[in-house]
Amino acid sequence: MTQPENQTLSPLRLPEGKMPVLRMMPSPADANVYGDVFGGWIMAQVDVAGSLPAVRRANGRVATIAVNSFLFKNPVFVGDLLSFYADIVKVGNTSITVYVEVYAERNRLQTNVVKVTEATLTYVATGPDRKPRQLPPLESLLIEP
Amino acid sequence: MTQPENQTLSPLRLPEGKMPVLRMMPSPADANVYGDVFGGWIMAQVDVAGSLPAVRRANGRVATIAVNSFLFKNPVFVGDLLSFYADIVKVGNTSITVYVEVYAERNRLQTNVVKVTEATLTYVATGPDRKPRQLPPLESLLIEP
Amino acid sequence: MTQPENQTLSPLRLPEGKMPVLRMMPSPADANVYGDVFGGWIMAQVDVAGSLPAVRRANGRVATIAVNSFLFKNPVFVGDLLSFYADIVKVGNTSITVYVEVYAERNRLQTNVVKVTEATLTYVATGPDRKPRQLPPLESLLIEP
Amino acid sequence: MTQPENQTLSPLRLPEGKMPVLRMMPSPADANVYGDVFGGWIMAQVDVAGSLPAVRRANGRVATIAVNSFLFKNPVFVGDLLSFYADIVKVGNTSITVYVEVYAERNRLQTNVVKVTEATLTYVATGPDRKPRQLPPLESLLIEP
Amino acid sequence: MTQPENQTLSPLRLPEGKMPVLRMMPSPADANVYGDVFGGWIMAQVDVAGSLPAVRRANGRVATIAVNSFLFKNPVFVGDLLSFYADIVKVGNTSITVYVEVYAERNRLQTNVVKVTEATLTYVATGPDRKPRQLPPLESLLIEP
Amino acid sequence: MTQPENQTLSPLRLPEGKMPVLRMMPSPADANVYGDVFGGWIMAQVDVAGSLPAVRRANGRVATIAVNSFLFKNPVFVGDLLSFYADIVKVGNTSITVYVEVYAERNRLQTNVVKVTEATLTYVATGPDRKPRQLPPLESLLIEP
């Protein structure tokens, strides 16, 4: 449901030279009465975040087939600014595995950054019949995923 | 994002003699324009489903610390009636691991049941300071988790 | 809006040998600032719950035409686990009347069950033109509603 | 779930010289894939509409205790502009019964008004302990409910 | 995000002899943890409110092209009853400019009305290709916008 | 409500060397039945986006007091990836004016970027009494807004 505060907060920064695929602030409607954001809300955003490079690599629609691992390293609070980073780590014939990291900027007033989540998800490229389809060759893509 | 249709649908039934911890119908707001329910929506409900026996065993608040595995075996559609089953599979000093299965009754007009998701999640019992706390002894609980 | 606490809470249990048609936990977004779940939210779920056996009996789409009675017997709180039971009590040429009961498991830590709502609603089977249509004979249905 | 179209639409107008207590347009998220607004969504808004004069008469918090009757006379569509009228019809020691009517302006381009819902709901004035409390005398109120 | 309380509250009343185009109560899900309704939620409703007379004048679909001005004069709280008034102030070949005012009835128990927002927005009539289209002559309309 | 498609789409790119303050994909629930995202939804996100540098500069809570201008330059569709950029353009004694630009990456498959919105909003720093408060001197801030 929510996440435990079980880490020493080291002075962390957002990854340099990388663009978050998603960046958002959870609202009170996404949290319990204590202001802790639901783990399920975070999972849902991570799923979207991971799908973005997968859709580019697949040059079309994808479907989530597995969450291989998912760690909640620190709780997320209403008012945190969350940055989601997603990188393709493995490509099969029809499937794409993506590593997603989520960082929270807390208080918004200081350089207080904590890593809150890291996860690996696998997507499969799908056709109009919802069945897996072959990934296009990398050279055929106009942009890099 | 969504889930591929990659399975032969065998004539399945809901588990006998077991009570789903959650049972609900996704609405159009939970789906893409094709009527496929977002994988992230399902993850969010699975997180709640798994937390229910964990909260009972912990006799109080818990936090999700990990998704150990999560398989999307069949797509979920708007109008499916989803039944979530959750069983504790492992108990540590402060943590509880729960196995969650999700079945969809499709069409609502026939005995058409498909297993759509199975997942294993780990929760940790937390105190008012959000830090992990010792689980109470099983004998002390008034009801079985 | 919300519901008064005007009943002695007897040691109640969920109905034996019956399966809830819906089972869910209201979230903070469904409640006022005091944690009381909106009566309207409960009405909306009861409407869905009652429609489930009606859709099966009608072997297709139905529309709500009336709420015949609806009692809020106890307040519902964020964190309650709600179980909705629905039984067809009357069948006409085109209409189906359903009795819905809602029970709340409170605290989630004890066998503390309260009946929170009971209601009777009438649905009508509708065709693609949204007009009432004749119910199919009971023998023609593959499954019992 | 949704409502049948089973009425001749007479050239109707909104009630003259009366102010709707609520006026709103349902959005696609409040409807099924056919654009029919969920009956439950309408019930939820009617509950709020009826509570407004009840709160004024009670000079404070109220709770819904019963829906005495509720008729869906015409379907509601995404894009309809809905006007809710609410009048107190009965006052007891602690309870207030309110009659709610809902009209839809359809197409928004013509004087096409249909009555979609009428309902009677009973609210009870509640104290901070959520228990029923005596209604204040009518003379003590600064404004008419 | 939210709005400052920077005005003396004079004994104000809702505009006489005018009908609000929208009237609604923001819910806790529309507010921050202090009960202040998000400025963005108000903007979204003002956009809908202004579109209503524009759609009538355009006799069909419109698109927002500009917010010319928007003042938050007083904060809005959960529980306020908001009335939105919208008047066309300028009509071009394809565009319609609308002035929107929002009043809040506070406490619901007294004649305590505050003006919370005033805004001017411009809409353009659009065709099925989403491109601007000529407004119909005023005489051709069956009803006044 | 929605936005017209009235621009030649030049080959545009996201601003170089700048970090979006928000980055998100609107979902079907944020759009009309044609897949056009509601103008109001965009306004709401722009309000949050602009508040982020304002909160940093104010070293605490702010309230929106005015939208000075807001242009919808191109429609936004479900599936667009939106990047919000926000820069402080003016600072007064208690107020902060922010310029917000929104770009959409369309199709997600090509380098197809369109500027969809630009807006200027003014926020005021507020104290616990919701009244305007003096901005802290720039030197006192630990981080640049």
Contact list in F for residue E65 (CB cut-off 8 A) is: 3-4, 71-72
Nearest CA in chain D to B33: D33
> What's the farthest any 2 CA atoms get from each other in chain B?
50
Contact list in C for residue B19 (CB cut-off 8 A) is: 19-20
Lowest mean pLDDT among B5-19, B44-58, B90-104, F109-123: B5-19
In a domain, E66, yes or no: yes
Contact list in C for residue D124 (CB cut-off 8 A) is: 4, 6
Contact list in F for residue B29 (CB cut-off 8 A) is: 28-29
CA–CA separation, F96 and F57 (whole Å): 8
In a domain, F61, yes or no: yes
Question: What does the pLDDT read at residue C7?
Answer: 46
Contact A4 B70 (CB under 8 A): no
Which of F22, F55, F81 lies nearest to residue A24, judging by beta carbons? F22
Q: Residue E2 pLDDT > 60, yes or no?
A: no
CA-to-CA dists, residue F60 to A13, A28, A79, B120, E6, angstroms: 21, 18, 12, 41, 18
Angle, helices F39-58 vs E39-58, to 10°: value is 150
Question: What does the pLDDT read at residue C2?
Answer: 54
- DSSP one-letter code for C139: G
Are E126 and F74 within 8 A, CB to CB? no
Q: What is the mean pLDDT of residues B107-125?
A: 86
Q: Residue A80 pLDDT > 60, yes or no?
A: yes
Q: Residue B107 — φ and ψ, nearest 5°?
A: 70, -25
Interface of chain C toward chain E, CB-CB under 8 angstroms: 28-29, 31-33, 38
CA–CA separation, E34 and F3 (whole Å): 33
Q: How far is F29 from chain D (nearest CA, A)?
A: 5
Contact list in D for residue E48 (CB cut-off 8 A) is: 25
**pLDDT tens track for C72-116:** 999 999 989 999 999 999 999 999 999 999 999 986 555 689 999
Q: Residue B124 pLDDT > 90, yes or no?
A: yes
CA–CA separation, D42 and A55 (whole Å): 38
CA–CA separation, F41 and D28 (whole Å): 13
In a domain, E113, yes or no: yes
Question: What does the pLDDT read at residue E136?
Answer: 93
Lowest mean pLDDT among B10-14, C96-100, D125-129: B10-14
The pLDDT mean for chain C works out to: 87
Among D2, D33, D37, D78, the residue to mutate for chain B (most B Cβ within 10 A): D33
**pLDDT tens track for D22-63:** 999 998 888 887 788 999 999 999 999 999 999 999 999 999
Write down the residue that tokens 């990188």 correspond to: A87
Q: How far is E28 from chain A (nearest CA, A)?
A: 8
Sequence-ordered strand ranges (E) for D14-144: 22-24, 62-72, 81-91, 95-105, 113-125
Query: What is the pLDDT confidence band of residue B116, given thresholds at 50, 70 and 90?
Result: very high
Looking at this protein, which amino acid is placed at residue A87?
Answer: D
Structurally, how many domains does chain D consist of?
1
Question: What does the pLDDT read at residue A6?
Answer: 45
In a domain, A2, yes or no: no
In a domain, D15, yes or no: no
Q: Residue A10 pLDDT > 60, yes or no?
A: no
Which of C28, C33, C38 lies nearest to residue E78, judging by beta carbons? C33
Looking at this protein, which amino acid is placed at residue B125?
Answer: A
Are D21 and E23 within 8 A, CB to CB? yes
Q: Residue E72: which of E138, E7, E144, E145 has the closest Cα?
A: E7
Please report the ipTM that was assigned to this predicted complex.
0.88
Query: What is the pLDDT confidence band of residue D142, given thresholds at 50, 70 and 90?
Result: low
In the structure, do chain B and chain C come into contact, i.e. share 3 or more CB pairs under 8 Å?
yes
Question: What does the pLDDT read at residue A98?
Answer: 98
Contact A48 F55 (CB under 8 A): no
CATH number of the structural domain spanning residue E119: 3.10.129.10
Contact B72 A65 (CB under 8 A): yes
In a domain, B80, yes or no: yes
Contact list in B for residue A7 (CB cut-off 8 A) is: none
Q: Residue D46: which of D113, D138, D123 has the closest Cα?
A: D123
User: Computed over its alpha carbons, how large is the radius of gyration of chain F?
Assistant: 16
Share of chain F above pLDDT 70, in %: 86
The pLDDT mean for chain B works out to: 88
Lowest mean pLDDT among B30-34, D92-96, F128-132: B30-34
Query: What is the pLDDT confidence band of residue F7, given thresholds at 50, 70 and 90?
Result: very low
Q: Residue B6 pLDDT > 50, yes or no?
A: no
N residues, chain A: 145
Query: What is the pLDDT confidence band of residue E145, given thresholds at 50, 70 and 90?
Result: low
Are B79 and B37 within 8 A, CB to CB? no
Contact list in E for residue F119 (CB cut-off 8 A) is: 67
Q: What is the DSSP string of B2-42?
A: B----S----B-PPTT---SEEE---GGGB-TTSBBPHHHH
**pLDDT tens track for F53-71:** 999 999 999 999 999 999 9
In a domain, E41, yes or no: yes
CA–CA separation, D98 and D120 (whole Å): 6
Are E94 and E134 within 8 A, CB to CB? yes
Q: Residue F8 pLDDT > 60, yes or no?
A: no
Are D111 and D41 within 8 A, CB to CB? no
Six token digits for residue C70: 């609806």
Contact pairs from chain A to chain E, CB under 8 Å:
9
**pLDDT tens track for F71-114:** 999 999 998 999 999 999 999 999 999 999 999 998 655 568 99
Higher pLDDT among residues A92 and C7, named by residue:
A92
Q: Residue D102: which of D120, D115, D93 has the closest Cα?
A: D115
Contact list in B for residue A45 (CB cut-off 8 A) is: 40
Nearest CA in chain B to F79: B32
Query: What is the pLDDT confidence band of residue C11, given thresholds at 50, 70 and 90?
Result: low
Question: What does the pLDDT read at residue E13?
Answer: 83
In a domain, E26, yes or no: yes
Which of B66, B75, B131 lies nearest to residue A6, judging by beta carbons? B131
Question: What does the pLDDT read at residue D83?
Answer: 96
- Alpha helices, DSSP H only, in F3-107? 39-58
Contact B23 C25 (CB under 8 A): no
Q: Which chains touch F (3 or more CB pairs under 8 A)?
A: A, B, D, E
Q: Residue B4 pLDDT > 70, yes or no?
A: no
Q: How far is F28 from chain B (nearest CA, A)?
A: 6
Query: What is the pLDDT confidence band of residue B111, given thresholds at 50, 70 and 90?
Result: low
Q: Residue C15: which of C119, C102, C127, C78 has the closest Cα?
A: C102
Q: Residue E75 pLDDT > 70, yes or no?
A: yes
Element (H, E) at C97: strand C95-105
Q: What is the mean pLDDT of residues C42-47?
A: 96
Question: What does the pLDDT read at residue C8?
Answer: 47
Q: What is the mean pLDDT of residues C2-23?
A: 71
Domain that holds residue D105: 22-135
- DSSP one-letter code for B98: E
Rounded to 5°, the CA angle E41-E46-E49 comes to 130
CA-to-CA dists, residue D144 to D59, D134, D138, D139, angstroms: 10, 18, 8, 9
Question: What does the pLDDT read at residue B8?
Answer: 47
Q: Residue B40: which of F88, F8, A39, E91 has the closest Cα?
A: A39
